[in-house]
Amino acid sequence: MARYYVLLGPPGAGKGTQAKIIADKYELVHVSSGDLFRDNLKRQTELGKLAQTYMSKGELVPDDVTIAMIRERLSRPDCQNGALLDGFPRTPAQADALAAMLKEFDGQVNLVPYISVPENLLIERLCGRWTCRSNGHVFHEKYNPPQIAGVCDLDGSELYQRDDDKSETVMNRIKVYAAQTSPLIEYYRKQKLLAEIDGTKSIEDVTIDMLAALENA
């Protein structure tokens, strides 16, 4: 039977790293809503074009468009074992829509791992990121510093800080995430589907806790 997991966690919690590990171990497709939007826009699909009409006006893409993209992705053959959803749902209304959709695939949300990290640590993680201009290699001034400050170890190009990684932007992203996601966290907690994972631990220990939660689901 197909299994579906919804991965929650603020920016800087390490969701991308854990998503790859989980997807590989359980042979699940990692369905990232951000990647899905970019793919539909790039391929100029009907849904992509529809989303673009809202985005070009600075408006939020309506739920029904986002849900249609998710539905189309989950209906592909590579999702027959299930999927790991990341970035969707974002609200209880979207979570209701997802539950209804998964019934059509004879499935349900089996678990919602939530990687919890305090705000001060998120800021430290995100604001320390530096990216190389040539190939996008990422370094961190504390956790993965370059051998020479400001220079990429791999190709010698300049390292710069993306606008997304500057402190003011980072703090705003964290606040927006918390405001948007807290109702969703409560939604899944009430359904006894939430598994809170301590994201302050090492990557390896977070993985151990994550896999233990999934095995017990």
The catalytically annotated residue of 162, 166, 175, 190 is: 162
Number of domains in the chain: 1
15 a catalytic residue? yes
From residue 112, alpha-carbon distances to 9, 14, 165 in Å are 10, 15, 27
Q: What is the pLDDT of residue 54?
A: 87
Rounded distance between C-alpha atoms, residue 36 and residue 19, angstroms: 15
Q: What is the pLDDT of residue 39?
A: 92
Quick check: is 170 in a domain? no
90 a catalytic residue? yes
* Pairing mode of beta strands 109-116, 29-32: unpaired
Name the CA radius of gyration of the chain, rounded: 18
Q: What is the pLDDT of residue 15?
A: 92
User: Residue 23, SS3?
Assistant: helix
User: Is 74:31 a contact under the CB 8 Å cutoff?
Assistant: yes
Element (H, E) at 99: helix 92-104
Q: What angle do CA 32, 34, 40 make, to 5 degrees?
A: 100
3 a catalytic residue? no
Quick check: is 151 in a domain? no
Quick check: is 107 in a domain? yes
This prediction has a pTM of: 0.85
Quick check: is 172 in a domain? no
DSSP result, 121-189:
HHHHHHHTEEEETTT--EEETTTB--SBTTB-TTT-PBEE--GGGSHHHHHHHHHHHHHHHHHHHHHHH
User: Is 140:128 a contact under the CB 8 Å cutoff?
Assistant: yes
Closest CA to 174 of 129, 131, 118: 118
Q: What is the pLDDT of residue 151?
A: 96
Query: Pseudo-torsion of CA 83, 81, 103, 95, nearest 10°?
Result: -10
User: The domain that contains 70 carries what CATH number?
Assistant: 3.40.50.300
CB-neighbour burial class of residue 136 (10 A; exposed 0-12, middle 13-18, buried 19+): exposed
The catalytically annotated residue of 3, 71, 173, 189 is: 173
Quick check: is 123 in a domain? no
The catalytically annotated residue of 3, 71, 90, 201 is: 90
Residues of the chain scoring pLDDT < 50: none
Give Cα 8 distance to the centre of its chain.
7
The residue segments making up the domain with residue 95 are 3-117+182-216
Closest CA to 123 of 1, 35, 12: 12
Quick check: is 70 in a domain? yes
Quick check: is 54 in a domain? yes
User: Residue 36, SS3?
Assistant: helix
Quick check: is 191 in a domain? yes
Per-residue DSSP letter, 78: G
Q: What is the pLDDT of residue 132?
A: 95
